[in-house]
Amino acid sequence: MSLELKNISLAVEGHLHIYQSNLKLEKATMNVLLGPTLSGKTTLMRIMAGLEKPSSGQIIWNGKDITNCRLQDRDVAMVYQQFINYPTLSVYENIASPLRVMNKNKHEIEIAVKKAAEILKISPYLDRKPIELSGGQQQRCALARALVKGAGLVLLDEPLANLDYKLREELREEIPKIFERSGAIFVYATTEPEEALLLGGNTAALFEGRIRQFGKTSQVYRNPKDIITADVFSNPPMNFLKFRKKYKKLTFEDGISHTETDHLSNLSDGDYIAGFRANHLDLTRKRAAQIKFSVRVNHTEITGSETFIHMNYTGEKWIGLVKGVHNLDQAANIPVYLDLAHIYIFAEEGNLELSAFYATKVK
């Protein structure tokens, strides 16, 4: 089983919503579409589902071109951000509805529905109407409906976005397990980098209608191939700073120069953009190799055990994420420390020149 998008693009009224994209999804894999809102995740899913016809390109399913195939003849199930169930039907009937369309007999339906309800832990509510369930249970009902269908392609469009934090965590853990056994291809759209990392599998980073990078989730996270992918895959957003390399010296925007570390020796002289993630910034020098930057605090957000520090470094907005509670005065000038092993180096036009040194060490 495989799904391949070949040079798919979609234009609506002259505007390109999806730029020419290629994607190959394999059997029994979890594939995350990661991108901010309006990056084209839902549109791409609608194309995969057959709800939208691409303006160009082909969709290949198991080696067969299904671009012009009717929706009815496709092997697809989909779950949405909104909890979508038939309001007049009981939970049982909701789950049974795709099977009824397939003309399964009564006995088969009962077994399948009960099993799906059990897996999704909604067995006690089979007689209820969707409206009498909590949000989480409503989404479980929708998931059960998708599960029972046994489709080869399961599309999950931000299924947890409308749930509160606890329910989201609970379901996020369950979803990959639930569908794993079915051997289907999963596509899961989300705006949150953490969600992609927790789900694992493969990730396609999307931005403004383009697939920037597709690969193993951890690979994409550690080795983003350009600034946009790195930014899409960082929460809080990645911090950037410009620097110039000349004669083994790195000169940053504040005018201070540092001697290069070993892994930077292959970088030719020139102007670059360095990027690093919020958690790699420290308020105190933890290792001798860390270099110091002077920044101005804009404001701090304390989440209990961690502190987000919004700061300004020679005009660049940075966000630092440090352990512990730090009450820093607004507009205070403080030193922050960064290890050069944690910086990604991008060429000025945006492509990755050199991955962060630490990332190459992790397997």
Residues making contact with other proteins (CB under 8 A)? 46, 49, 51, 71-72, 76-78, 80-82, 84, 86-89, 97-98, 101, 129, 131-132, 142, 145, 149
Distances in Å between the Cα of 230 and the Cα atoms of 196, 199, 234, 239, 298 are: 14, 18, 6, 10, 24
Length of the chain equals 363
Name the residue nearer to other proteins (CB basis): 69 or 256: 69
Number of C-beta neighbours around residue 184 at 10 A: 23
Nearest to 297 by CA among 327, 270, 260, 253: 327
What DSSP state is assigned to residue 256? Answer: -
310's tokens:
């919004």
**CA–CA gap between residue 189 and residue 160 (Å, rounded):** 10
Judge if the upstream peptide bond of residue 87 is cis by omega within 30 degrees of 0. Answer: no
- Shortest distance (Å) from residue 360 CB to other proteins: 42
Name the residue nearer to other proteins (CB basis): 38 or 256: 38
Torsion of CA 170, 172, 175, 180, to 10 degrees: -120
**Which residues partner with 335 through β-bridges?**
294
Nearest to 32 by CA among 231, 234, 233, 186: 186
Number of C-beta neighbours around residue 352 at 10 A: 19
Nearest to 330 by CA among 301, 304, 305, 291: 301
Nearest to 293 by CA among 339, 358, 356: 339
Q: Is 362 helix (H, G, I), strand (E, B) or coil?
A: coil
Long-range CB contacts (within 8 A, 24+) of 28-31: 28/1, 28/180, 28/183, 28/184, 28/185, 29/185, 29/186, 29/201, 29/202, 30/176, 30/186, 30/188, 30/199, 30/200, 30/201, 30/202, 31/185, 31/186, 31/187, 31/188, 31/201, 31/202, 31/203, 31/204
